[in-house]
Amino acid sequence: MGIISQTIRAVGGFAIAAVMAGPAAAQTTTGVTDDEILIGIFAPLSGALTAYGTDPTNAARAWFNDVNEKGGIHGRQIRYIVEDDKCTPAEAGAIARKFINVDRVFAMLGGSCSGATVSIQELVNQEQIPHFMLNASGDAGVYPPTKYQFGAAPGTQRATLAAVMSYAIDDLGAKTVGVLGPEDEMGTAALRMIHAVAEKRGVEVVANEIVPNNATDVTVPVLNVQSANPDVIILTTYAPPTTLVMKKIVEFGLVDKPIISAIQGVSSTDAFLASLDGDTTGLKNFYYAHPLVGETMDDPGLKPFKDLMVKHFPDRPNPGIMGAYGFPHAMAIVHALEAAGPGLTREKFMEAIEKTNFESGVMAAPTVFNPERRDSLRGQVIVKFDGETVTHAGGPYLWDEIVDPSYFD
């Protein structure tokens, strides 16, 4: 067959498949048959942000495969379709519409970037299709909560900074804190929680220095924090600027000062240490917030989940730690499908999902959804890293037990 006729067939196939789907038909429960439940999965699987999507997607797929191998849910197998959104709102918008109108999925699980997930919030609420973010954790997707969008599997900045501040105050006895962080969405959300806890506990934020994500020199912000002399230094920076700050901490002799980093500052301890050229001088009093039960996929708590991923995706024998974030919402979907019973409808599923409350075995705190809550993880732990070992230092701390959620209204 010639290339031209193959192309015509391909384009024709697309057109027929898309048009035949027609306008959304009124159907009791789309995406559910007697023997199948259809889920649409999307994540960045190509381009610069592939690393954020590949392993979490595999984790979710591995979980669904495992459920299927064990007989499925009430006699139904979970079938999933995977699409690549490249973390862009436009692609996410097209994919979500394709899932809803062409594939007719029952629910969607996807999104590793906040922008792409927030961009389909209105659509999923309009179409009343439940959408669970894969590992996107931006505050904008879940605050204020909307009925059909669920997120924050790794916890929002509220969860991270509540843990950081609680540990600083309760365990390190901080009366003053100094903050170094970016001015972006994450940095702003982080600062909001820092001020909320500080106000409540009578702690003073004596320095708040902006460190852009693309900073190449952090001398001035670090000097400003040094001159403010806080009891504890808090970092809400991403990994590259965190490295710069830590090097300046050593240079300016601030190594005795306790430093607590948000999770985004330490992508993995190996990578973090390598970025410091193996120099552990600045890690004398270094802590960071963490949402998982283990530090690497080989830790005893996470090893069974790694094994499950490798079993189903042997082409990736060493999945990254981010992969773990793909489990909790896949588990939440399975829990709710089980609870909804054999006569599955979307209404029953929504009722069940709003009663979600389980320990995933992956995350440091329970995965919870209820009518007022769409951020599944509210707790994180604090760990101490000295350059060699990671030890549990405190927590889990649950942000809504530390600050009344109404503070943010």
Partner 1 sequence: MYGSLTRYELAWPLVVVAAAVLFPPYLNNYLLFVGSILLVYAVLALGLDLIMGHAGQFALSHVAFYGIGAYVTAILQSRYGVPFPIGLVAAIVVSAALAAAIAVASVRLRHIYLGLATVAFAAATHWVFEHWRNLTGGVDGMRLPPADFMFFRAVGDAANFRVLAVMFALILLATFLLVRSKLGRSMAAIRDSEHVAAVSGISVARTKMWVFMISSAYASVAGSMLFVFNSFISPIDFTFAPAVLLLTMLVVGGMGSIPGVIVGAFLLGILPEVLRTVLRNYLVWQEFVYGLILVLSITLMPQGVAGLFKKLTAKRREAK
Q: Which is nearer to partner 1, 110 or 230 (CB)?
A: 110
Distance of CA 109 to the CA centre of its chain: 12
Instruction: Kindly tell me which of 93 and 366 has the beta carbon lying closer to partner 1.
Output: 93
Q: How far is the CB of 134 from partner 1 (least distance, A)?
A: 15
Q: Report the residue number, 11 or 271, with the smaller CB distance to partner 1.
A: 11
Q: Which of residues 36 and 184 has its CB atom nearest to partner 1 in the complex?
A: 184
- β-sheet with 36-43: strand ranges across: 77-84, 36-43, 107-110, 131-132, 149-150
Secondary element (H or E) of residue 249 = helix 239-251
Please spell the DSSP secondary structure of 333-402, one letter per residue.
HHHHHHHH-SS--HHHHHHHHTT-EE--SSBSS-EE-BTTB-B---EEEEEEE-SS-EEEEEEEEEHHHH
Contact criterion met (CB below 8 Å) for 72 and 78: yes
Residue 141 Cβ vs partner 1, minimum distance, rounded to whole Å: 11
DSSP state of 49: T
| Shortest Å distance, C-beta 179 to partner 1 | 17
Tokens standing for 343? Answer: 């006569």
| Residue listed under structure tokens 């708040």 | 208
Chain positions contacting partner 1, by CB under 8 A: 10-11, 13-14, 17-19, 21-24, 45-47, 81-84, 87-91, 93-95, 97-98, 100-102, 114-115, 118-119, 121-123, 138, 140, 183-185, 188
Tell me the closest approach of the beta carbon of residue 212 to partner 1, in angstroms.
Answer: 9
CB of 133 to partner 1, least distance (A): 14
CB-nearer residue toward partner 1: 92 or 352: 92
In angstroms, what is the minimal distance from the CB of 4 to partner 1? 12
Of the pair 68, 268, the CB lying nearest partner 1 is at: 68
What whole-number distance in Å separates Cα of residue 21 and Cα of residue 83?
18
- Residue 394: strand pairing partners: 382
